[in-house]
Amino acid sequence: MAQSREIQNRIKSIRDTMKITKAMYMVSSMKVQKAKNKLAASAPYFDGLKRQIADILLHFPEIRHLYFDNRQKDEKETVKKKGFIIVTGDKGMAGAYNNNILKMAREAIGGSEDFRLFFVGEYGRHAFHDLQDHIADDFHATAYDPSVHRARVLTEYLLDLYDREELDEIYIIYTRMVNTLTEEVVKEQLLPLRTSSFLRASMKAKGDMAKDGDYLIYPSPEEVLGSLTKNYVTGYLYGALTESFASEESARMLAMQTATDNGDDMLTGLSVQYNRMRQAAITQEITEVIGGAKALRRKKEKNRKARTEE
């Protein structure tokens, strides 16, 4: 009976855990939908910024700007001071989500000579304790529920380092959501922006008419381009944070669903085991009752024979 009670306790424990995993699944499901809606609502504005930047670059090809990869300074440098923004979760219980990001980050850092690490999410900060000297201690950001305001604050911090040439290149490593069941970890160059990618996008959108028309920009194309670029980087960072948040919650949904399914399998196995033990105990009790009855009957017959012989 002791083993039977132990199995009952395990069944109760698993059922209690399954209540938690089901609740976490529902919460993550709502968070994923919320993140998707936020990303969809902001996408048109930042797409418009990208088109405006592309138009300026297309109409003023001679521009050499700090935030783009067409500076003469970049052609002379051989060693780049790199910054890596690594977006992980604040906690685990999301399957391989965080581990996949950490693996990509290690590969991206590779043999970099001069680099600094900026973490969004505490999981990554703790995982890279061996590179503590390279971690920016004054850069703290949560991965939970990203906002445009938070993205703007982070952008201003990073642009300040870039403007003061403490960083030559800034990369972001985050998780892009392919669909509800699939995510992929990507590494993108945040700064300097690639001029060719903007020009290709503009030419593709407008065709041969892309350079038609005269442009008058006040106070100057460089100043307007700088202002637009800051907003664009904010939008890109916000999109990356939002996609990462949605991917994390999607991964957590899948992990909780898997945990719930495994719990069902365990309950089935334990229920079968408990029923077998219960049936065995009942069979043993019946056998003992029958055996006792037979022994009592034999004793009565023996006593009756003894009285008859007397």
The answer to whether 143 and 89 are in contact (CB under 8 A) is yes
Residue 107 sits in which domain range? Answer: 27-259
Query: Average pLDDT of 149-157?
Result: 90
Is there a single domain that holds both residue 148 and residue 197? yes
pLDDT, tens digit, 9 for 90 and up, residues 37-59: 887 887 787 778 777 887 777 77
The verdict on residue 230 lying in a domain is yes
Q: Is 22 inside a domain boundary?
A: no
Q: Using alpha carbons only, what angle is made at residue 227 by residues 221 and 233, rounded to the nearest 5 degrees?
A: 125
Q: Which of 259, 278, 294 is the last residue of a domain?
A: 259
Q: What is the CATH number of the domain that holds 154?
A: 3.40.1380.10
CB 270 within 8 A of CB 11: yes
Residues 237, 243, 249, 252, CA torsion sign: negative
Give the pLDDT band of residue 172 (cuts 50, 70, 90).
very high
- Among candidate residues 218, 241, 259, the one where a domain is terminated: 259
- Interval 223-277: pLDDT, tens: 888 888 888 889 888 888 888 888 888 888 888 888 888 888 888 888 888 788 7
294 shares its domain with 236: no
* 119 phi-psi bin (left φ>0, alpha ψ -120 to 50, beta other): beta
Average pLDDT of the residues of the chain: 81
How many C-beta atoms lie closer than 10 Å to residue 41's C-beta?
9
Residue 142: its pLDDT value, please? Answer: 84
Note whether 121 and 143 are within 8 A (CB): yes
Residues in Cβ contact with 298 at an 8 Å cutoff, skipping those fewer than 6 apart: none
Residue 250 sits at the vertex; the CA angle it makes with 37 and 254, to the nearest 5 degrees, is 150
- State the DSSP code for 128: T
In this structure, the answer to whether residues 122 and 270 fall within a common structural domain is no
Number of folded domains that form the chain:
2
| 81-90 pLDDT tens trace | 889 999 998 8
Could you tell me if residue 147 is inside a domain? yes
**Same-domain check for residues 149 and 274:** no
- Helix residue ranges, H only, the chain: 2-59, 72-76, 97-109, 122-127, 148-163, 195-206, 221-309
- CA 310 – CA 306 distance, rounded (Å): 6
Between 71 and 153, the higher pLDDT residue: 153
pLDDT at 97 over 80: yes
If you search the block for the tokens 């920009």, which residue do you land on? 217
- 235: closest CA among 106, 53, 100? 53
9 plus 99 within the same structural domain? no
Question: Residue 21 falls within a domain, yes or no?
Answer: no
How far is it between the farthest Cα atoms of the chain? Answer: 137
Please spell the DSSP secondary structure of 219-262, one letter per residue. S-HHHHHHHHHHHHHHHHHHHHHHHHHHHHHHHHHHHHHHHHHH
Of 226, 244, 259, the residue at which a domain comes to its end is 259
